[in-house]
Amino acid sequence: MKKLLKNPLGLICLLFSTGIVAGIQAVEAQEQEIVGIQVTPPIIEVRADPGEVVEETIHVTNRGEGDQTLFLKTSDIKGTTQAGQPIFAEEGELTGFEMSSWIKLPQDEIELKSGGTEHVPIKIHIPEDASPGGHFAGVFFTREPIAPKESGAGVGFGVGSVFTFRVSGETQEEARIRSFYTKKVVYQKPKITFLTQIENEGNVLIRPRGLIEIWDTFGNEVAKVEVNEKRGAVFPGGTRLLEEVWNSSKISMGRYRAIVSLVYGEEGRKTISQSTSFWIIPLRIIGIGAVIILVFILGIGLGVRLYIKKKMQELQALNQKVGGYHHKKTREIEPTLLEEEGRRGFFAKLIKTTLTMFAISIAIFLLLLLFA
């Protein structure tokens, strides 16, 4: 028998008056300590052969002020939530991964003095006909002599250790990325949340890890984000949603492409990947730019109008110095014609400038699509 992993940190699980939430991911993440009941190790992973007897020890410490009487119970684990928290089976329910009947408890209850520690020996008798692959169960310590209740992630009033066994034989390690996407399609700044849903199609626990590589509109790699750094597990036949965040302080704009590549298996020999895309459009910056362009266009229009008005005034002053009936009639007509032509010229230039800016915007958008 070879032990794959026995958590050396010994996560501290605690007994609350109203119950606790226990999860595979939580117990793997880091050590926690609160006044109550401490159980170590929180998770035990073992590789064993059919017919083998495995011996383990669970350490239970009373960190409270009063004495405690705790009852020992076992329960099979039939799956996990998307967040990786175990879902416990009802008594007698077949899960395909059951092993609670293999576990032999030394007694039904223990007495713990305040500040005292009890070392509880556990024996696991693996049947000769045990199916190869993963088997999962928990040993719990409760204040009431009842089996721990489960509601998605709850474990009643109990705390305990989770057993993850891999029985040798013909095992299957298969997984796929069911979906890979970002929370939003368009972002205003490079603070992107990636969601990767992994489905375990095999019969053993897997812990996929890898990277998300991100490329900009022009094909330049801009960042790499590590996936599942805490080695969260995916239950056989189940799915798990992994969430990672890319946060950059650089000003970014355009269409981006991201590829997630994950490895899994005993030696990380299998690889799965999938891609997605998203947009970064800094609307605030674009809005400021649009206002500046609009002010510029209006400024040009106002300048043209003032220029025409000035020329009209100069022409009228010149006409007043010229005499004669014919010249008088001409002078009456020419300012009107010139003023009309000036207005037309102004509006023509304004429309032309607006259409030019619109054409430039369309061209930039098409270039982004082309290079993306």
Residue-wise pLDDT for 298-317, tens only, equals 777 777 777 777 777 777 77
Helix ranges restricted to H, 3-126: 24-29
Take residue 43 and report the two structure tokens written for it. Answer: 């998770």
Kindly state the percentage of the chain with pLDDT values over 90.
42
Least confident of 194-203, 271-280, 299-308, 359-368: 359-368
- Look at strands 270-280 and 254-264 and give their pairing: antiparallel
**Predicted local distance difference test score (pLDDT) of residue 252:** 82
**Predicted local distance difference test score (pLDDT) of residue 60:** 93
**Predicted local distance difference test score (pLDDT) of residue 183:** 93
Contact 24, 83 (CB under 8 A): no
Q: What is the dihedral of CA 262, 229, 2, 133, to 10 degrees?
A: -50
- Give me Rg for the CA atoms of the chain: 36
Contact 114, 67 (CB under 8 A): yes
Q: Is a pLDDT exceeding 80 seen at residue 19?
A: no
Average pLDDT for the chain: 77
**Predicted local distance difference test score (pLDDT) of residue 148:** 47
| CA distances for 162 relative to 212, 318, 345, 358, angstroms | 31, 101, 82, 63
Phi, psi of 196 (to 5 degrees): -120, 120
pLDDT band of residue 372 (cuts 50, 70, 90) is very low
Neighbours of 356 (CB within 10 A): 11
Distance CA 243, CA 223 (A): 16
pTM: 0.62
More confident position, 60 or 308: 60
